[in-house]
Amino acid sequence: MALVIPEGYRNILGNLENTEKAIKAVKDMFQDNLSAQLALLRVTAPMVVLSGTGLNDDLNGVESPVSFPVKDMDGCKAEVVHSLAKWKRMKLAQMGVPSGRGIYADMNALRPEEELDNIHSIYVDQWDWEKVISPEDRTLAFLKKTVRSIYEAIKVTENKLYVEFPQIEPMLPEDIFFIHAEQLLQMYPDLSPKEREDAVVKEHKAVFVIGIGGLLSDGKAHDGRAADYDDWSTLNEEGYEGLNGDLLLWNPVLESAFEVSSMGIRVDPSALIRQLELRGEGHKAGLMYHRMLLEGRMPLTIGGGIGQSRLCMFLLRKAHIGEIQSSLWPENMVERCREAGIDLA
């Protein structure tokens, strides 16, 4: 996505002080709403993990984490997390959390290989959450129920925000629309995955695209997903593969589909083996995290990440994620944004 400068853009909150107040309001309200909807306990999360354990998130499988040796640990190599997708599951095992309850954490990560634009930064902040489920919960119906709970938390936050900042009028639809990536391909066979998202989200305003990571009938995946956390290969009750997906909202400022969350039911041992084989990554089965999962020492879970700056950007009608968070931006981007009234932190 290239830098987009919306025509006639202005900060509807008036000034930077009001923006900072509104950011805090969104973050405080949403995490309270989320924890109440999903029965989540806040936990403290790491910024670094040891290399070679399998704990770090591989994202699309090509990104390289920021890494460094730890002097006082005999030079053991540590790496900055990409996300907490797998760490959370191990934390639930350590805590002995029962089915139906879970945890969430403030996750801060560095992704230096991101292409910087309106919605991508090298600094990533998420509410990373994970919840223990039963074997009977590993269904598409349960996934949809959880998505609706998260969407309700977003809507409640939007409505409460309107009370404090009446210039931000609620616009989210009552319900979220569900569609599988294969159905989306059949609807728009001549469009790219991003163009398909724009088309369906422009129509429905709030959409959850199911089945991210597995190959579709055209031989391509809708988008990348690592093999060892989301289950994108299990046949669901609607006849399509995948128990995961992305939550997308229509962004009226950027006039495009806007991803605020990636989530899913996590792999069980059989799905992990299958997906590692599909990706040619069978060697990972010997890593600490993967061994624990295959040996039944991990609970079954559902989980995901919800972008903090992304959600604030959407709810506060901002044109650039740099209006929400402090990060690094190319000087020419800073200058172009400044000329358009977009103040990057």
The predicted pLDDT at position 63 comes to 64
Give me the catalytic one of 35, 83, 121, 126: 126
The predicted pLDDT at position 55 comes to 72
Give me the catalytic one of 31, 35, 57, 198: 57
Which of 25-39, 99-113, 140-154 is predicted with the least confidence, judged by mean pLDDT? 99-113
262 is catalytic: yes
126 is catalytic: yes
The residues facing 126 across adjacent strands are 107, 307
What architecture does CATH give domain 16-339? 2-Layer Sandwich (3.30)
Instruction: Identify the burial level of 46 via C-beta atoms within 10 angstroms of its C-beta, where 0-12 means exposed, 13-18 middle and 19 or more buried.
Output: middle
% the chain with pLDDT above 90: 82
Q: Which range in 1-5, 61-65, 340-344 is most confidently predicted, on average pLDDT?
A: 340-344
H or E stretch at 303: strand 301-307
Confidence class for position 331, pLDDT limits 50, 70, 90: very high
Count CA atoms within 13 Å of residue 312 on its CB side: 27
| 170 C-beta neighbours (distance < 10 Å), count | 12
Give me the catalytic one of 63, 152, 259, 281: 259
35 is catalytic: no
* Pairwise CA distance, residues 85 & 305, whole Å: 8
| 258 C-beta neighbours (distance < 10 Å), count | 23
- For 140-153, letters b (16+ CB in 10 Å) and e give bebbeebbeebbeb
Confidence class for position 72, pLDDT limits 50, 70, 90: confident
Q: Is 241 left (phi over 0), alpha (psi -120 to 50) or beta?
A: beta
Taking the mean position of all CA atoms in its chain, how far away is CA 272? 20
The predicted pLDDT at position 74 comes to 83
Give me the catalytic one of 35, 79, 111, 275: 111
Give me the catalytic one of 125, 182, 246, 323: 246
* Pairwise CA distance, residues 323 & 319, whole Å: 8
The predicted pLDDT at position 1 comes to 58
H or E stretch at 137: none
Q: Report the pLDDT averaged over residues 62-88.
A: 82
Confidence class for position 42, pLDDT limits 50, 70, 90: very high
Confidence class for position 83, pLDDT limits 50, 70, 90: confident
What are the Cα distances from residue 344, in Å, to 13, 27, 159, 326, 336?
15, 19, 27, 8, 10
Contacts for 152 with CB less than 8 Å, ≥ 6 apart: 33, 37
Whether the pLDDT of residue 47 is over 90: the answer is no
* Pairwise CA distance, residues 88 & 75, whole Å: 26
Q: Where are the domains of the chain?
A: 16-339
261 is catalytic: no
pTM of the predicted model, to two decimals?
A: 0.93
Whether the pLDDT of residue 64 is over 80: the answer is no
